[in-house]
Amino acid sequence: MGRVASAFPVKPGCFYVYVIGHDSGPQKVGYSGDPAYRAWCLKVARKPHFSVHYQLEICAQDVIGVEVLAHWLLRDSALGKEWFNVTPKQAAGAIDRAAAMYARGERAPPRSDLMVVPIATSFPVELLDRLTAFRAKEPGLPNRSEAIRILVNEALEARSRKPSPPSSDR
């Protein structure tokens, strides 16, 4: 069987964290020594027209850690395993951010902490503006869901430290 030609150059012995998918729709974030060949394998498995949208070379000892951290950053858009409901640009941005975070020594939490339950809610525009301002001041510019989790956790922690008001007997 012939090998597929890569649109991106690959080096023997190197690994890449990649984004594979259609131009729109779900994107796969994974790692491989040859992302173009991986895309070809997905096409053979009844997923035609996949393209490698992005790949970042990562040394072998760090590739899994960067991939897991990218998955953690995209967790709010997870569709299952390595598939995310994001654009190729958003997925590539998560990979770049994960690589920078990993290089600084940051790691994704253990897998059990990755479990999130999606909830739908609505916010007044003014509250979203305040949330956006909060996000801009946070390191790493968390996405909306992560910013909401940070704020809710801080509020709950503050409330748990606050003494309870005396109960009234009626």
Residue of 2 and 60 predicted with greater confidence: 60
Residue 114 scores a pLDDT above 80: no
pLDDT of residue 89: 95
Instruction: State pLDDT tens for residues 23-80.
Output: 888 999 999 998 988 888 887 665 667 889 999 999 888 999 999 999 999 998 988 7
Query: 125-138, pLDDT tens digit by residue?
Result: 999 899 989 988 88
% pLDDT > 90, the chain = 38
> What are the tokens at 71?
């998955």
Which burial class, exposed, middle or buried, applies to 45 when counting CB atoms under 10 A from its CB (0-12, 13-18, 19+)? exposed
* C-beta atoms surrounding 68 within 10 Å: 19
